[in-house]
Structure 1
Amino acid sequence: MAGDPHELLADDWMQWRGPLGNNIAQSGQNVLTEWDERTNVIWQAEVPGRGHSSPIVVGELIVLTSADEQSQQQGVFGFDRATGARKWGTVISQGGFPKTHQKNTHASSTACSDGRHIYATFCHHEKVEAVALDLKGNVIWKNIVGGFAPRQYEYGYAASPTLYSGKLIVSGDSDTVAWVKALDTETGRIVWQQDRPRKLNWSSPIVAQTGGRKQLLLSGLNMISSYDPQTGQPLWSQPCLTMATCGTVVWDDQVVYASGGYPDKETVAVSADGRGGILWKNSVKCYEQSMLIHDGHLYAVDDGGVAYCWEARSGTEKWKYRLRGPVSASPVLVGDVIIAPNESGTTYVFRANPNRFEAIAQNQLGTESFATPTVVDSKIYLRVAAGQGDARRETLFAIGTR
């Protein structure tokens, strides 16, 4: 099977932000919009350790990364898609955990898959390590991709890898070393690499079809950058945004959209061909979250829990509506339904309606939700937590009908 998510199975969710990397679920799904711990739960499974990575769905397998902070073990775990039973868990590394922000974890990067292998990245001993596993959890290869040693703000690592044409693309931006690299998925060998400005950033790279070609896009470091995903050669960069962003860019056929961050606040639209410059910008900050684009409109939920809708090409604000924050997870679009969790385990469900904010439901599951939901086959997979300290437990829920 080709190692390009654009060519993968339509009913799987094999990378951060789904089949096309834009957090839009495949069409034709009919998800339930109301749930709690006793309502519309197909199954629930305890997740060992702590992590903010999203579940990926690979055939009959659901895969998560997680980390045990006491033993300093990072690992990959496979669950049965139908029952939630844990099928395997593989420890990838032990020791060398860096300092992190209190809201980050040592397993915040979402895994990806080409249908044959699972690929994951972890940061330890001031390095980013990539690993490939088979679908039974056996390690195929491991490789140190590059250094990651932030000094000004030691907030940990968060970028998720992506796949393109037999290459695993990984980034690591810090104020001591910064890079984006591609590894051969069969061997783990580095096939291309590009240095980046040494500044702090946490966004994930993504391959998009925009501006008339495939582009590897990455926001942050006071710009949006575009690379040829096949060779790593820079295509263009547009000065904009701020130093640090965490969200992943979104796009249509001609425009790339991004938001952040620190120290400044900006949401921006830039030409996807590298020649048209900045098309519009405003001062809204979606720092942790990625946005959604649908039917010519840009939808977002900012750090404080304010939902926005803008006309995508002009930046005209159509509406904004205050939900409850803070928010770290990114909203997901299923048909015309947006699913948006906040950090307290409340998930807001509302319509992607450019004319007005149209609430559908408000659901509570657990007391902590940082992982972005996954939606496959009309089922919603939510990673949440409840409890404090030693009593804290993470759970993966499957929401839907049996």
Structure 2
Amino acid sequence: MTMKINRNRTRDWIAGVACSIATTVVATPSQGDWTAFRNGGSSHVEDSLSTQWSAERGIAWQTELQGYGQSAPIIYEGKIYTTSVVGPMCQACAVECRDLQTGALVWSYRHDSTHEHPSNYMNARAAPTPVVDRNGVYAFFETGDLLALDHQGQQKWVRDETKATGELDNSHGIGSSLAQNATHVFVNLEHGGPSFLTAIDKTTGQSTWTADRPSSKSWSSPIVADVNGQQQVIISSGGTVTSYDAAAGEQLWQLDGIEGNSVPSPTVSGQYLVVGARLPEFASAGSVQANCCLDLSEVSDGQPRVVWRADKAICEYASPVVAAGCAYFLNKANVLHCLDLETGDVLYRKRLGGDCWATPIVSDGRLYFFCKNGECKVVGVGPEFQELASNSLWDRDAPPIPETYVESSAASNHSHGQHSHSEHGGGHPGGDAGGHPGGNADSSSSQGPGGGMAARLKAGDRNGDDVLEGDEIPEMFRGMIARIDTDGDGRLSAPEIDAMAASFAERRKDAAASSRDPIVYGVAASDGHIVVRTGTRLFAISQ
């Protein structure tokens, strides 16, 4: 468990790094490339990267992309791959390949969207990050389309995942990114209807196995880890952390009681799995302890040992990262918590400033925190806080506005069904999350911010007494009741529900202004370059 801050703590963190490398649990990114969301779950890159740049120097190139996208870039053998949706109704799914050194377009591929939806600031737009290997690139879109292309941009196969799920019921769209091993891509699709994790053969495009998942609205992404020689697909979402055998889909273990894990994805480091979770606005009092560390080498009675639970460290959109024997969590208030990986002891807390949706990059003893507004804080790894640099991608007084992208003006009713032409809430999960829902990822509205949520709650008042109690309270709100039930009677009155809706509306009132490009959604790094993606633009930073 976490204890008081120890600002004078000294430790041989280099030895701690060596110890973690020697364990039998490792993530599966390719060396030198950045082949998936968070580079396979670690966010590490081997290259030494620049620490100084500005709008006037250090940026090798920048270029406008097709349409709009909230996915992170991926990099393989000197090529960058990005995904976007094109058109006011996301009529096309686009994949672009560019040269890492010059930004020149190598090829572009478009696929007609199977299910259209409005392209606007509250919708997920190409939020899932693709994966790449020596045989090609694999891209998933919130339209339900899953594509496999070769390295010349030729289609190998295509699937419509909504054939298995039906109409997608997710007020923020789909944001979970793909994971992969040598033979399969793994898709986790969770929404209000039938949900699943499926392993798809990279060569044939056919499903090898499918496992049912909770029907919950989640944007976190799976990772693949090698645990004692067995590849496992691990997912943190829907209140649980669950592991599946990557070869057969059998559930190996599950840990319950993880509230708020709808956006951040887990991070593997050696034998440890660091789990990040948000603090929903009306979460239960102990939900911060959903941010925790598990020991994957010790599984008993179907669940791994919990090494520690956080007292105050918490995530928002960015997933936790691990470096030099420390676990790093960045919360909504932009406070960076650094915890000892093995004990959970708090080493420091420091406010960074700037709102970060993208998960940071770890490189050569440094952490790179990219903020929404193009600023980047470079922080040294280790038990003591050290800010090394502060940089900006653009002039804050003259940010780069989209050149060709036009936002849809469709009316908002928060539907993301395949036949819907309406806006819905929740623009970006990661983030980088593979997609980050803007605002509150655990709430949705159809009558103004908070209005639809309150109306749905009140509709459950079966006896018409203006009070919800017992099974009249939806299951998703029962864990939050301590924060909503202001008089502590175990029931929800109409004034308490209205106060909750008003609080949500106040928090969301500036969502439109704060959710429009330029926004940094995702980052990747390879061959001495940092590649930064906004909704409509790509930047490359080099030494």
Pair 1:6 & 2:24 matched: no
Name the structure 1 match of 2:387.
359
Q: Work out the CA distance in 2 between the residues paired with 1:270 and 1:5.
A: 15
| Residue identity matched to 1:329 | A
Q: Residues 240-299 of structure 1: CA distance to partner in whole angstroms, max 9, x if unpaired?
A: 321542122112332211111344443111231432432221243313211111222101
Q: Work out the CA distance in 2 between the residues paired with 1:65 and 1:33.
A: 27
Name the structure 2 match of 1:32.
50
Residue 98 of structure 1 contacts residue 156 of structure 1 at CA under 8 Å; is this kept in 2? no
Pair 1:181 & 2:205 matched: no
| Residue identity matched to 1:62 | I
Q: CA deviation at 1:68?
A: 2.2
Distance 1:288 1:383, change over 3 A: same
Given candidates 18, 22, 34, the residue that maps to 2:42 is 22
Name the structure 2 match of 1:371.
521
| Residue identity matched to 1:24 | H
Name the structure 2 match of 1:80.
99
TM-score by length of 1: 0.88
Q: Residues 37-87 of structure 1: CA distance to partner in whole angstroms, max 9, x if unpaired?
A: 221111212112111211111213210001124151221111122210112
Q: CA deviation at 1:99?
A: 6.9
Pair 1:308 & 2:313 matched: no
Name the structure 2 match of 1:267.
291
Pair 1:397 & 2:539 matched: yes
Q: Work out the CA distance in 2 between the residues paired with 1:280 and 1:5.
A: 21
Given candidates 140, 161, 164, the residue that maps to 2:156 is 140
Residues 181-260 of structure 1 correspond to what in structure 2 (within 5 A)?
Answer: 181-210=198-227, 213-260=230-277
Q: CA deviation at 1:122?
A: 0.8
Given candidates 369, 375, 383, the residue that maps to 1:346 is 375
Residue 324 of structure 2 contacts residue 382 of structure 2 at CA under 8 Å; is this kept in 1? no
Q: Work out the CA distance in 1 between the residues paired with 2:358 and 2:71.
A: 10
TM-score by length of 2: 0.66
Residue 149 of structure 1 contacts residue 174 of structure 1 at CA under 8 Å; is this kept in 2? no
Name the structure 2 match of 1:388.
none
Name the structure 1 match of 2:426.
none
Pair 1:90 & 2:113 matched: no
Distance 1:235 1:98, change over 3 A: farther
Pair 1:106 & 2:114 matched: no
Residue 127 of structure 2 contacts residue 142 of structure 2 at CA under 8 Å; is this kept in 1? no
Secondary structure, in 3 states, of the residue corresponding to 1:17? helix
Name the structure 2 match of 1:391.
none
Q: CA deviation at 1:104?
A: 5.3
Q: Work out the CA distance in 2 between the residues paired with 1:133 and 1:52.
A: 20
Residue 89 of structure 2 contacts residue 118 of structure 2 at CA under 8 Å; is this kept in 1? no
Distance 1:175 1:348, change over 3 A: same
Q: Work out the CA distance in 2 between the residues paired with 1:291 and 1:7.
A: 17
Residue 307 of structure 1 contacts residue 322 of structure 1 at CA under 8 Å; is this kept in 2? yes
Q: CA deviation at 1:7?
A: 7.4
Structure with more of its chain in strand, by fraction: 1
Q: CA deviation at 1:183?
A: 0.6
Q: CA deviation at 1:139?
A: 1.0
Q: CA deviation at 1:317?
A: 0.7
Secondary structure, in 3 states, of the residue corresponding to 1:287? coil
Given candidates 161, 170, 174, the residue that maps to 2:187 is 170
| Residue identity matched to 2:158 | K
Distance 1:243 1:31, change over 3 A: closer
Name the structure 1 match of 2:405.
none
Q: Work out the CA distance in 1 between the residues paired with 2:354 and 2:120.
A: 18
Structure with more of its chain in helix, by fraction: 2
**Count of residues in Structure 1 that have an aligned counterpart in Structure 2:** 381
Q: CA deviation at 1:103?
A: 5.6
| Residue identity matched to 1:238 | L
Q: Residues 311-370 of structure 1: CA distance to partner in whole angstroms, max 9, x if unpaired?
A: 11211110011112322110110011100111122111111121x210011111245333
Secondary structure, in 3 states, of the residue corresponding to 2:387? strand
| Residue identity matched to 2:528 | S
Residue 210 of structure 1 contacts residue 253 of structure 1 at CA under 8 Å; is this kept in 2? no
Q: CA deviation at 1:399?
A: 0.7
Name the structure 2 match of 1:41.
59
Secondary structure, in 3 states, of the residue corresponding to 2:28? helix
Q: Work out the CA distance in 2 between the residues paired with 1:50 and 1:66.
A: 5
| Residue identity matched to 1:194 | A
Q: Work out the CA distance in 1 between the residues paired with 2:75 and 2:306.
A: 36
- Which one has more relative contact order, counting CA pairs under 8 Å at least 6 apart? 2
Pair 1:320 & 2:349 matched: yes
Q: CA deviation at 1:100?
A: 8.8
Q: Work out the CA distance in 1 between the residues paired with 2:167 and 2:351.
A: 37
Q: Which runs of 5+ in 2 are unaligned?
A: 1-25, 400-517
